[in-house]
Amino acid sequence: PIILYFYSQNDSLSQKQGLILDDVVRAHNATVFSIEYKYSDDLSYVENYYNVSATPSIVVDYDSVKHGLVPYEEVISLISHKA
């Protein structure tokens, strides 16, 4: 599975989501691309395409978009649903 992870610096929910995704990577061999929200105008098209307007947000396999803190079990469910 591929996960796009939109985060903000110094944001506690983004930090928690990062730790959850670390566990997902270890347990399910997922690939996570971390993208700092509003980092660059060059990446704004990706944020707009997935309607990312807050962090944390994740996109699983370029399809399922979730905003806010997504618990481990829900991330696993999204990955399993795509398998």
pTM of the model: 0.92
CA 16 to chain centre: 11
Q: What is the pLDDT of residues 29-40, one digit of tens each?
A: 999 999 999 999
Q: Where are the beta strands (DSSP E) in 1-83?
A: 2-7, 31-36, 57-60, 64-67
Of 35, 37, 27, whose CA–CA distance to 1 is shortest?
A: 27
Q: What is the pLDDT of residues 20-75, one digit of tens each?
A: 999 999 999 999 999 999 999 988 999 999 999 999 999 999 999 999 999 999 99
Q: CA dist 22 to 45, 49, 54, Å?
A: 26, 25, 20
Categorize the per-residue pLDDT at 80 as very low, low, confident or very high, splitting at 50, 70 and 90.
confident
pLDDT confidence of residue 83: 54
32 burial level (CB within 10 Å; 0-12, 13-18, 19+): middle
